[in-house]
Amino acid sequence: MKNIYRILRYLKGYKKEVILNIVFNLLYVFASLFSFVMVIPFVSVLFGIIQPPEFCPEFSFNKDVIIDYFAWHLNNYSQTYGVFKCLVIISALYIFFAFLSALFRYLGMYNLAPIRNGVIKDLRNDIYHKITILPLSFFSNKRKGDLLSRMSSDLLDIEISVISSLQMMIKDPIMVIVFLTTLIIISPKLVLFVVIVMPVVAYLIKQIGASLNRNSEKGQKQIGTLISTTEETLGAIRVISTYNAEDKIREKFEQQNNIYSRLMTKILRRKELAAPLTEVFGILSLVIVVIFGGLMVIKGEIHPSILIGFVLLFARILAPMQSLTTAYYNLKKAAAAAKRLYEILDAKEKIEEKPNAIKEVKFSDTIKFSNVFFSYTGENEDNKIVLDNINLEAKQGQTIAIVGKSGSGKSTLLDLLPRFHDVVSGEIRIDDIPIKDFNINSLRKTIGIVTQESILFNDTIFGNISFGLDASFEDVQNAAKAANAHEFIMNTPKGYYTNIGDRGLTLSGGERQRICIARAILKNPKILLLDEATSALDTESEKLVQESLHALMKGRTTFVIAHRLSTIVNSDKIIVMENGKIVEEGNHQSLLSQNGIYSKLIELQTL
């Protein structure tokens, strides 16, 4: 439950609303209490159960004095104006206090609304912010569907189970405490009989709550699996159709959905047990009150009017006690969702920045990798070495090409430069300054990246090119012209202000890639990372993109991961990687003369 308490800390941002909610709930409780307490002297006088005192007593907060005070006034009024008129006045007062009670309850809920929505808004913002700053290794161990489930269904569970229970958690405890205190004042002995059965109720509620928490956690994980399967299906719908795998994938989804359905059935059955369980024990307690109270009336220990008032108040206290039980079950169910959310919020930001990090990266000389080792570490990783003793130097303005088989560590090597990952040992330096000494944002500001997959957003072409930058229309247009993108952009319905849809799928592969290149040109980085930027394109698109890349690479230090080796023959330096190591290094001619791995790769591509 500690994660639930952590969520409740978000209430600090809504102190005014919380205070107003508590105040109006207190007023609601006292208005409700007064309307019930006044029944005792009224019934006593109306039915002649007790005789009013001869003189009006001085009012004080004492049970007997309060009864005598109201009894004298009611008796005096009924003798002066008649019992019927007295009944009408009392009824009017009761309605008035009932109205006040309803009004204060509404005002309490009115001030709860911004708390309920605000806490969820703040929590959602914190989770989204955390996701944007976590290292890439965190996402390599998580399925996207599971993360989406935490942002959607888990947050919804928090809203429904925790935030919607706030009113019950604030109003109902106050009502139980105030009413119970009043009952103790009226008859401590009767209250004692009720308290005897409470430990049994508390034990049963705790046992059912623990079971609910276990099943809720399983349910949250299972809905994450369902969303992951759905997301995979949407991304692979062409492959599924091509291989006629609709039945197989549907069967897989239905199996997962059946598991989730069974879990939710268990959860709902246990949750719905809260109300009848509390009701049964409430009625049992009420019966005990009536039996033992009746015996006390017979023995002359209390007046019948006291028993009537006690029973009315006790019956009124059952509803908030039932609500508290429901709130407890809601919190137990939400504990599983809160635990999953805090797995994200508590995830370590492995890429740490030094307190006095250098704000500006003045790259003018060399980038040097010295004895760099790297391995992925995580719950699903085996700590296999991905990069093994990498030593590499790139002069300012040079183009460094990286080739090798898939899985040889090429992309990982590039990911170390913008600190998407940090080296396990060794060091990377820019102008002889370790990159860990730089401010992370400043470091990444000097680096532009174009990957094999065109990363675009559901926005306009202008918004995608100027993404993250404060650029004018003229700047964006010039970048698009340099990337050979201006012509096709002007042929779209709204030009630069055409929305390109989800992931830019309204455009061809070559068009998407040229927008990504225009974005990199607009950023004007000192260092450029090209990760197989043309490998997924047809020949004509590749030619246009390659021309765009040449414009982008001018005057920049560029690291190129090449799929087609013909595009890197003019590179200043080519390194060949195998099993995380640099096994060959040189320019195109020198590597050919070695007759090693590089020359064999060239031979394979020219066949």
Q: How confident is the model at residue 547 (pLDDT cuts 50, 70, 90)?
A: confident
Residue pair 328/273 in contact (Cβ under 8 Å)? The answer is no
Neighbouring residues of 384: CB distance < 8 A, sequence distance ≥ 6: 375, 376
Backbone angles phi, psi at 403, to 5 degrees: -125, 165
Indicate if the pLDDT at residue 253 is higher than 50: yes
Q: Which of 447, 455, 510 is nearest to 483 (CA)?
A: 510
pLDDT in tens, 294-324: 888 787 777 676 777 777 777 777 677 767 7
Spatial separation of the C-alpha atoms in residues 253 and 243, rounded to whole Å: 17
pLDDT for the residue 290: 78
Handedness of CA 585, 586, 587, 591 (dihedral sign): negative
Indicate if the pLDDT at residue 215 is higher than 70: no
Neighbouring residues of 419: CB distance < 8 A, sequence distance ≥ 6: 351, 435, 436, 440, 443, 444
Indicate if the pLDDT at residue 370 is higher than 80: yes
pLDDT for the residue 380: 47
CATH superfamily of 16-345: ABC transporter type 1, transmembrane domain (1.20.1560.10)
Q: How confident is the model at residue 417 (pLDDT cuts 50, 70, 90)?
A: very high
pLDDT for the residue 379: 45
- Enter the tokens of residue 527: 């260092």
pLDDT for the residue 208: 60
Looking at the DSSP assignment, which residues form a beta bridge with residue 577? 404, 582
- Enter the tokens of residue 396: 């300012």
CATH code matching the domain that covers 454-524, chosen among 3.40.50.300, 3.40.50.2000, 3.65.10.10, 3.90.320.10: 3.40.50.300
Distances in Å between the Cα of 215 and the Cα atoms of 232, 336, 339 are 26, 9, 13
Give the percent of the chain with pLDDT over 90: 12
pLDDT in tens, 219-237: 767 776 777 777 677 666 6
SS3 category, 358: strand
For the chain, what is the radius of gyration of the CA atoms? Answer: 37
- 506 burial (CB, 10 Å; 0-12 / 13-18 / 19+) is middle
Q: How confident is the model at residue 200 (pLDDT cuts 50, 70, 90)?
A: low
- Enter the tokens of residue 265: 């059935």
Pairing of strands 573-578, 399-404: parallel
Q: Rounded mean pLDDT of 152-165? A: 73
Backbone angles phi, psi at 346, to 5 degrees: -95, 0
Q: How confident is the model at residue 387 (pLDDT cuts 50, 70, 90)?
A: very high
Mean of all residue pLDDT scores within the chain? 78
Spatial separation of the C-alpha atoms in residues 288 and 160, rounded to whole Å: 36
Indicate if the pLDDT at residue 93 is higher than 80: no
SS3 category, 560: strand
Indicate if the pLDDT at residue 407 is higher than 60: yes
Give the percent of the chain with pLDDT over 70: 78
pLDDT in tens, 476-503: 998 888 888 898 899 999 999 999 887 7
- Please tell me which residue, 393 or 128, carries the higher pLDDT value: 393
Calculate the dihedral angle through the C-alpha atoms of 142, 143, 148, 150, rounding to the nearest 10 degrees.
-50
Q: Which of 170, 177, 179, 167 is nearest to 32 (CA)?
A: 179
Spatial separation of the C-alpha atoms in residues 516 and 514, rounded to whole Å: 5
> DSSP H helical segments within 236-273, as ranges?
237-242, 246-272
Backbone angles phi, psi at 411, to 5 degrees: -65, -35
pLDDT for the residue 234: 66
Spatial separation of the C-alpha atoms in residues 413 and 576, rounded to whole Å: 12
Span(s) in the chain for CATH 3.40.50.300: 454-524
- Enter the tokens of residue 592: 């050919």
Residue pair 598/591 in contact (Cβ under 8 Å)? The answer is yes
Q: Would the pTM count as exceeding 0.85?
A: no
pLDDT for the residue 428: 94
pLDDT for the residue 505: 77
Indicate if the pLDDT at residue 534 is higher than 50: yes
Residue pair 552/493 in contact (Cβ under 8 Å)? The answer is no
Q: Which of 4, 93, 101 is nearest to 342 (CA)?
A: 4
How open is the CA angle 145-147-149, to the nearest 5 degrees? 70
Indicate if the pLDDT at residue 443 is higher than 70: yes
pLDDT in tens, 6-62: 887 888 888 898 889 888 888 888 887 776 666 665 665 555 555 666 777 776 666
Spatial separation of the C-alpha atoms in residues 606 and 265, rounded to whole Å: 62
Q: Residue 144 is which amino acid?
A: K
pLDDT in tens, 558-582: 999 877 777 788 889 999 999 999 9
Span(s) in the chain for CATH 1.20.1560.10: 16-345
Q: Rounded mean pLDDT of 205-217? A: 60
Category of 300 on φ-ψ map: left (φ > 0), alpha (ψ -120 to 50) or beta: left
Indicate if the pLDDT at residue 292 is higher than 60: yes
pLDDT in tens, 340-364: 788 888 877 667 788 888 988 888 8
CA atoms within 13 A on the CB side of 255: 7
Q: Which of 300, 314, 304 is nearest to 191 (CA)?
A: 314
Handedness of CA 46, 51, 55, 58 (dihedral sign): negative
389-420 burial, b if ≥16 CB within 10 A, otherwise e?
A: ebebebebebbbbbbbeeebbbbbbbbbbbbb
Q: Residue 582 is which amino acid?
A: I
Q: Rounded mean pLDDT of 390-406? A: 90
Q: Rounded mean pLDDT of 463-468? A: 88
Q: How confident is the model at residue 509 (pLDDT cuts 50, 70, 90)?
A: confident
Q: How confident is the model at residue 202 (pLDDT cuts 50, 70, 90)?
A: low
pLDDT in tens, 106-155: 898 888 888 878 888 888 888 888 877 777 767 766 666 677 777 777 78
- 338 burial (CB, 10 Å; 0-12 / 13-18 / 19+) is buried
